[in-house]
Amino acid sequence: MKQKRLTKADKADRVNHQRVSMVLILCNVLDARSGVSDSIKGAVASSLINMIDTVFVPGDDDSLAKLINNSIDNFCAEMEEKTGSENYREALMFQIKKAKQMLNEVKAGIEKLNRIKEGENILNNICLN
């Protein structure tokens, strides 16, 4: 049986539905009281913070951002209580910043290697007669 082609609006609706579903699942992971380690919750919280900072559109995604921030705040408060540290969210944001710096360094290295390879290819294709 042939499936009908989706319109752009239908595709956008499906993508948005998937996005909301993913956010709800990740917030449920953060809100879990058992079965999920603190390190996994920390990784999820960091990913969600990064998501808010990089892909959320102010005004359009405020309700999702509020839901995410509520789950992150609850997790951070729990970690502050467990570890006795202050401002756990700030520590997560510092780790996100360091990870982005490392990623940028890796990208720069890859670009440099690609330029070197292109130069070598050009030199190999030159005929010196």
- Range 80-105 average pLDDT: 93
Question: Among candidates 94, 29, 22, 90, which has minimal Cα distance to 61?
Answer: 22
d(CA 129, CA 2): 60
Q: Is 74's pLDDT higher than 60?
A: yes
What local confidence, expressed as pLDDT, does residue 95 receive?
92
Quote the pTM value: 0.73
Which tokens belong to 121? Answer: 């290819």
Domain assignment present for 45: yes
Note whether residue 107 is domain-resident.
Answer: yes
Confidence of residue 129 (pLDDT cuts 50, 70, 90): very low
Query: Total domain count for the chain?
Result: 1
Q: Is 88 part of any domain?
A: yes
Tokens of 117: 């390879």
Residues above pLDDT 90, as percent of the chain: 60
Domain that holds residue 103: 8-125
Answer yes or no: is 2 within a domain: no
